[in-house]
Amino acid sequence: MTASNVSAEHGGTQPRTPSLADAIIPLISLAVLIAGSLILFGLDALDGPIQVALVL
């Protein structure tokens, strides 16, 4: 193993900054999960499934 391989394996490179898509995808997923819970269970979804969606 060379020195350059060792430094690359142990975080020698800078992490990239998150893109807008990296920030939007979790929000869209959360909205879809909450909407699905409301569609499936109506207002009874407020008792449990929405908390599960928020935890995920």
pLDDT confidence of residue 10: 63
In the chain, what are the helix, strand and coil shares in percent, each to the nearest 5?
A: 75, 0, 25
Q: Is residue 26 part of a domain?
A: yes
Is 3 a domain residue? no
The yes-or-no verdict on residue 1 having pLDDT over 70 is no
Determine, yes or no, domain membership for 13: no
Answer yes or no: is pLDDT of 2 > 60: no
Would you call 41 exposed, middle or buried from its count of C-beta atoms within 10 A (0-12, 13-18, 19+)? Answer: middle
Domain count, the chain: 1
Where residue 9 falls among pLDDT bands split at 50, 70, 90?
low
- Does residue 22 belong to any structural domain of this protein? yes
Tell whether 11 is covered by a domain.
no
Range of the structural domain that residue 44 is part of? 18-55
For residues 32 and 54, is the Cβ–Cβ distance under 8 A?
no
- Rounded distance, CA 53 to CA 50, Å? 5
Centroid of chain to Cα 12: 26
Q: What are the pLDDT digits (tens) for 13-42?
A: 889 898 999 999 999 998 898 888 888 888
